[in-house]
């Protein structure tokens, strides 16, 4: 009785249910497009074509994907420790300082492959320190992490305004950005990876930080499921009382989890700063920190789910831009509605179709019946 | 044969795949006390929830007083004359008795007229059933036994002819329970029908006229109480013969292993929950702490196991002190030979969302044998879990199954296996068999006695007086945070009951 729904086989749990949720989200999005007086099929075509139609488009999609993998992982790590880190946006923004400092200091002396590790460390360090403050406040003072991380997003934005204006902006420049980095501060594109598939990356900023994102995803899996620290974080996340009973130091784990989370968010800054613009611009994060929340929700806080979820949002970003370009009556705001619907069905209404799907799946597969029967006893 | 108050025909209910009730047929005669027993998860609560309208049956009919009724919600149940006293009271703590009784039956927007009427009606009910309660007392200031009486009055006020009581004695002292049974007898004499749900066989034998037994979602038997026996009922509940008596030899107490001196613990609000408690436990003995839930036992356990900080006092483990007033670390205490089976296994002793094997290392996860370099050695952890599963007969024997999917008894075995297999010097156990089925109780009791016989010092806290008396070599009774008496296990239940109610204790303390 304590288990309202029976366990589903993995393919249904992680494949079928997200797909159904997604399908419904797109169906309703289609209705919205219809109400605006446009053809949903045409919109769908532009979405898919815009995201995957050409090598260049795929490059853009994967560029956004890279960003969302980092911020999604950041949210997921904190989730596992029972912390809702809304501050990915600010942590990524502050992480940019680390990248910028590394690049501005060494871009003229070091080649990119030596500068990149320094920039990674800088990004992670600055992001981690920015997340450490709310983590410490939560652990020691009980200040709620959701509130403090939101506030720290605003503080980060103000701080960056100041720094870009007064510190990073080169003399005589009008725009709020650092100087453009020399060759050492520019990450190579992954055209070789695309050319394996016979595609050309074109002008898309698809760069090597994509590979770093994949490594980070694997690293997060190892951390959460294969280390003592991850075990303690999960214990804490599921049951603080059990963690106390087990002798896990609550305050320490909260601060560490937030620092890892912030570090991952900070590493997102590598992608736009070193991979696309070759300088740090005002507001370079552009909401990716918040998209990370949706990505983590959809990916069930598991790296294997976060990567496809990040790809989906990369597609929505790139394909959505294409729709608004090709179909002027569908504005960018419409794209936000579609993204919102995806979040709504994949995250908030996750369980809406579950009872029905459970019944259908179990009716079709008699084998799973025995498993569930033992637990009912 | 008198007429039927309730007849259930072919009630069937599933939650997803879990078949909680299968084709239940039940006949309850008017003006009787009818017991329903069964292990945890047998489907008793589901069945009663269907009768009271919390759930809808998938199939089957409910016939009340000869009429088939459709009970969509609790309001429909009340209209059909069914009242329910829940295990956890549904009272507004800061309302008065009268306000609670009226709640939901105010009759008009202006309360005054209703209050006068309710007061008169309450007077009448009190007289009729000898249920004395001060209508203007605030609920939170009343003892649990009286709060329960308010729940019963609430049902009667709504003109219930059928009263369902779900595990009513779990929170009561023995004298309070006796009082409750007298009230139930009175209700029966007035022609009311009582459905009593419990897992305590003795209560069934004491006050019911008929008893129905549930097992794994099915109604397996109905007996006339005077023609059956505790042994037969236990066998029907479990489906096999059960040993109800615990067999244990003479205790051979040796050196003091664990010593508590003048321990005082306050809760987060600053209320003193444990008040100047002292006791020793020797190697090879079981010291039981009896008491009604909420008299400081939980706080005592938490303080001596390093989870809650004590206000003052000293605790010695193997002769050396535990920093209970400072930063006692549960992980360090484990290394020093203190094992702790917590009272609340669902939130404290286990992480229900973890795989079984992950719970089998909780608290011991920094042991180097579970590590390979920087990483956890998952193979070693699972192999270790498999050994424990075999030794404790944990079912299903699958270390990768999510812990929430084990039954209560098997979950408790996971905790016991983890804590006992470490060969601790001192074992602290809270509520070892709460929510555990009869078959597993037998096993758990045996293991606890075995630990004693291996020379461990065992502290046992339980609200089940029978369990305390069966297992302990010495019994301490806690009331209002203090140890109000020490008795040997052959003390009568009445004697312990008075101590638990604080009656004897006050006298003793005064002397």
Structure tokens at B472: 């302990």
**Record: contact B362-A246, CB cut-off 8 A:** yes
Whether residue B320 lies inside any domain: the answer is yes
> Residue B182 in 3-state DSSP?
helix
Instruction: For residues A18 and A66, state if they share a domain.
Output: no
**Chain A residue closest in CA terms to B333:** A247
Per-position pLDDT tens, chain B of length 511? 468 999 999 999 887 667 889 999 999 999 999 999 887 778 888 899 899 998 888 889 999 998 999 998 888 999 999 999 987 788 898 899 999 988 887 777 777 878 888 899 889 988 888 788 888 989 888 888 888 889 999 998 988 999 999 888 877 777 888 889 999 999 999 899 999 998 778 888 889 999 999 988 899 999 999 999 888 888 888 777 766 677 788 888 999 999 999 999 998 778 899 999 999 999 999 999 998 878 899 999 999 999 999 999 999 999 999 999 998 899 999 999 999 999 989 889 999 999 999 999 999 999 999 999 889 999 999 999 999 999 999 988 999 999 988 888 889 999 999 999 999 999 999 999 887 877 788 899 999 999 999 999 999 999 888 889 999 999 999 998 999 999 999 888 888 888 888 775 454 544 4
ipTM of the predicted structure? Answer: 0.83
- B340 in a domain, yes or no? yes
Domain that holds residue A109: 55-315
Residue the block writes with tokens 């005669």: B29
| Torsion angle defined by CA atoms of residues B173, B176, B181 and B183, in that order, rounded to the nearest 10 degrees | -160
Looking at the structure, do residues A238 and A95 belong to the same domain, yes or no? yes
Report yes or no: B408 at the A interface, CB cutoff 8 Å.
Answer: no
Strand partners, B316: B259, B321
Q: What CATH code is carried by the domain that includes residue B107?
A: 3.40.50.300
Please state the pTM of the whole predicted model. 0.81
**B288: which DSSP letter?**
E
d(CA B271, CA B508): 24
CATH number at residue A105: 1.10.3470
Q: Is position B114 within any domain?
A: yes
Same structural domain for residues A355 and A245? no
Residue A322 near chain B (CB below 8 Å): no
**Cα–Cα dist B194/B31, whole Å:** 8
A344 CB within 8 Å of a chain B CB: no
Q: Provide the chain B residues 194-223 that lie in CB contact (below 8 A) with chain A.
A: 216-217
**Under 8 Å CB-to-CB from B296, ≥6 apart: which residues?**
B265, B273, B274, B275, B277, B478, B480, B481, B482
* A232 close contact with B: CB closer than 8 A: yes
Domain boundary among A278, A293, A315: A315
* Cβ–Cβ under 8 Å, residues B448 and B424: no
Bridge partners (DSSP) of residue B9 are B61
Q: Does A356 touch chain B (CB under 8 A)?
A: no
CA distance A111 to chain B (A): 32
Q: Which of B225, B228, B200, B201 is nearest to B211 (CA)?
A: B225
Residue B375 in any domain: the answer is yes
Q: Which of A345, A341, A282, A296 is nearest to A316 (CA)?
A: A341
Q: Tell me if A171 is assigned to some domain.
A: yes
Query: Which of A268, A289, A315 is at the close of a domain?
Result: A315
Q: Answer yes or no: is B56 within a domain.
A: yes
B244 assigned to some structural domain: no
The C-alpha of A325 sits at a distance from chain B's nearest C-alpha, in angstroms, of: 47
Q: Is A47 within a domain?
A: no
Asked if B431 and B496 sit in the same domain, the reply is yes
| pLDDT per residue of chain A (377 residues) written in tens, 0 to 9 | 333 445 677 787 777 887 888 888 889 989 988 998 889 999 999 999 999 999 999 999 999 999 999 999 999 999 999 999 999 999 999 999 999 999 999 999 999 999 999 999 999 999 999 999 999 999 999 999 999 999 999 999 999 999 999 999 998 888 899 999 999 999 999 999 999 998 998 899 999 999 999 999 999 999 999 999 999 999 999 999 999 999 999 999 999 999 999 999 999 999 999 999 999 999 999 999 999 998 998 888 999 999 999 999 999 889 988 888 888 888 777 778 877 887 788 766 767 787 788 778 777 765 444 444 333 33
* Interface check A222 vs B, CB under 8 A: yes
Q: Looking at the structure, tell me whether residues A148 and A217 fall in a common domain.
A: yes
Amino acid A357: pLDDT? 82
The answer, for B69 touching chain A at a CB cutoff of 8 Å, is no
Question: Is A231 in Cβ contact with B348 (below 8 Å)?
Answer: no
CA–CA separation, B184 vs B193, rounded Å? 9
Joined together, the tokens standing for residue A350 give 């996750």
Strands (E) located in B52-204: 59-64, 67-69, 82-85, 162-166, 193-198
Distances (CA, A) of B501 to A148, A281, B174, B279: 48, 73, 8, 21
Are B222 and B302 found together in one domain?
Answer: no
User: Residue B389 domain-assigned?
Assistant: yes
Distance from CA of B113 to the nearest CA of A (A): 43
Measured between CA atoms, how close is A351 to chain B, in angstroms? 14
Q: CB–CB of A313/A299 below 8 Å?
A: no
Could you please report the per-residue DSSP string of A245-303? HTT--HHHHHHHHHHHHHHHHHHTTHHHIIIIISS-BTT-STTHHHHHHHHHHHTTT-H
Give chain B's domain count.
Answer: 2
> Do B151 and B44 sit in the same domain of this protein?
yes
- Judged by a CB distance cut-off of 8 A, whether residue A245 touches chain B is yes
In this structure, is residue A284 part of a structural domain? yes
Q: Residue B434's domain spans which residues?
A: 256-510
User: Are residues B401 and B299 part of one domain?
Assistant: yes
* A331, A337, A342, A348 alpha-carbon torsion, rounded to 10°: 170
Chain B CB contacts of A228 below 8 Å: 365-366, 371, 376
A240 and A343 part of one domain: no
Tokens standing for residue B504: 């004897």
Same domain for A10 and A134? no
Which residues face B477 on adjacent strands? Answer: B290, B485
A/B interface, count of CB pairs below 8 Å: 111
User: Is there a single domain that holds both residue B273 and residue B307?
Assistant: yes
Cβ atoms within 10 A of the Cβ of A55, count? 18
Q: Could you tell me the two tokens for B303?
A: 């303080």
Kindly report, residue by residue over B347-361, the tens digit of the pLDDT: 899 999 999 999 999
Based on the fold, state whether residues B219 and B266 are members of the same structural domain: no
B150 touching A (Cβ < 8 Å): no
């Amino acid at each position: 009785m304590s288990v309202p729904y029976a366990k589903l086989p993995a393919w249904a749990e992680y494949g079928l249910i997200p797909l159904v949720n997604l399908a419904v989200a797109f169906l309703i999005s289609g209705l919205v497009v219809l109400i605006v007086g446009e053809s949903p099929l045409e919109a769908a075509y532009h979405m898919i074509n815009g995201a995957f139609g050409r090598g260049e488009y795929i490059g853009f999609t994967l560029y956004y994907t890279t960003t969302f993998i980092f911020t999604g992982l950041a949210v997921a790590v904190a989730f596992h420790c029972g912390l809702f880190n809304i501050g990915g946006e600010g942590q990524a923004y502050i992480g940019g300082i680390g990248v910028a400092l590394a690049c501005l200091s060494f871009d003229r002396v070091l080649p990119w492959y030596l500068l990149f590790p320094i920039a990674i460390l800088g990004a992670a360090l600055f992001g981690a320190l920015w997340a450490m403050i709310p983590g410490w406040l939560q652990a020691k003072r009980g200040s709620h992490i959701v509130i403090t991380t939101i506030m720290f997003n605003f503080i980060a934005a103000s701080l960056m305004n100041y720094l870009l204006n007064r510190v990073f902006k080169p003399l005589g420049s009008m725009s709020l950005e650092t100087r453009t980095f020399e060759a050492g501060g520019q990450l190579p594109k992954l055209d070789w990876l695309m050319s394996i598939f016979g595609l050309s990356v074109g002008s898309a900023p698809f760069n090597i930080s994509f590979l770093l994102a994949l490594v980070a995803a694997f690293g997060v899996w190892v951390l959460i499921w294969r280390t003592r620290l991850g075990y303690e974080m999960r214990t804490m996340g599921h049951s603080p009382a059990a963690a106390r009973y087990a002798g896990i130091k609550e305050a320490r784990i909260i601060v560490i989890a937030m620092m890892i989370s912030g570090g991952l968010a900070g590493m997102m800054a590598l992608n736009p700063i070193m991979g696309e613009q070759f300088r740090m611009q005002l507001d370079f994060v552009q909401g990716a920190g918040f998209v990370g929340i949706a990505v983590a929700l959809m990916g069930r806080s598991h790296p294997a789910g976060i990567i496809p979820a990040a790809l989906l949002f990369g597609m929505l970003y790139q394909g959505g831009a294409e729709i608004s370009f090709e179909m002027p009556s569908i504005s960018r705001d419409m794209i936000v509605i579609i993204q919102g619907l995806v979040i709504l069905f994949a995250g908030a209404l996750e369980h809406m179709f579950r009872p029905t799907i459970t019944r259908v799946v179990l009716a079709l597969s008699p084998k799973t019946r025995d498993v569930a029967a033992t637990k009912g006893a | 044969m008198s007429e039927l108050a309730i007849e259930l025909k072919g009630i069937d209910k599933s939650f997803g795949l879990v078949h909680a009730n299968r084709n239940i047929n039940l006949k309850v005669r008017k003006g009787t006390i009818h017991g329903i027993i069964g292990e945890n998860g047998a489907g008793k609560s589901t069945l009663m929830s269907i009768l009271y309208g919390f759930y809808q049956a998938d199939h089957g009919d409910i016939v009340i007083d000869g009429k088939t009724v459709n009970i969509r919600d609790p309001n429909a149940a009340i209209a059909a004359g069914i009242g329910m006293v829940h295990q956890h009271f549904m009272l507004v703590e800061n309302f008065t008795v009268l306000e609670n009784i009226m709640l939901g039956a105010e009759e008009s927007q202006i309360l005054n007229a209703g209050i006068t009427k309710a007061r008169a009606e309450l007077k009448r009910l009190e007289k009729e059933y000898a249920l004395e309660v001060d209508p203007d007392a605030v609920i939170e200031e009343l003892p649990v036994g009286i709060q329960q009486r308010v729940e019963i009055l609430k049902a009667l006020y709504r003109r219930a002819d059928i009263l369902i009581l779900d595990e009513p004695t779990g929170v009561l002292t023995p004298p309070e329970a006796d009082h409750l049974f007298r009230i139930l007898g009175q209700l029966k004499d007035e022609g009311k029908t009582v459905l009593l749900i419990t897992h305590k066989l003795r209560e069934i034998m004491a006050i019911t006229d008929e008893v129905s037994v549930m097992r794994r979602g099915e109604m397996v038997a109905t007996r006339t109480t005077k023609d059956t026996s505790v042994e037969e009922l236990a066998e029907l509940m479990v489906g096999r013969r059960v040993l109800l008596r615990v067999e244990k030899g003479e205790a051979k107490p040796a050196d003091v292993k664990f010593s508590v001196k003048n321990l005082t613990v306050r809760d987060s609000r600053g209320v003193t929950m444990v008040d100047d408690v002292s006791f020793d436990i020797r190697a090879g003995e079981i010291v039981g702490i009896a008491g009604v839930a909420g008299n400081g036992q939980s706080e005592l356990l938490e303080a001596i196991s390093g989870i809650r900080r004590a206000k003052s006092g000293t605790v010695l483990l193997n002769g050396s002190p535990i920093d209970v007033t400072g930063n006692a670390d549960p992980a360090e205490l484990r290394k020093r030979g203190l094992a702790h089976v917590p009272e609340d296994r669902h939130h404290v002793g286990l992480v229900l969302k973890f795989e079984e094997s992950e719970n089998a290392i909780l608290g011991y996860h920094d042991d180097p044998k579970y590590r390979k370099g920087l990483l956890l050695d998952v193979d070693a952890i699972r192999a270790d879990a498999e050994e424990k599963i075999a030794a404790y007969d944990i079912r299903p024997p699958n270390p990768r199954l999510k812990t929430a999917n084990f039954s209560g008894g098997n979950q408790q075995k996971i905790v016991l296996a983890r804590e006992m297999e470490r060969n601790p010097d001192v074992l602290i156990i809270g509520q070892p068999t709460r929510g555990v089925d009869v078959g597993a109780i037998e096993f758990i009791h045996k293991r606890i006695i075995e630990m004693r016989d291996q020379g461990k010092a065992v502290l046992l806290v339980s609200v089940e007086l029978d369990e305390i008396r069966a297992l302990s070599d010495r019994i301490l009774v806690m009331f209002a945070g203090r140890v109000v008496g020490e008795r040997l296990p052959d003390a009568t239940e009445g004697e312990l009951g008075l101590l638990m109610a604080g009656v004897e204790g006050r006298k003793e303390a005064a002397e």
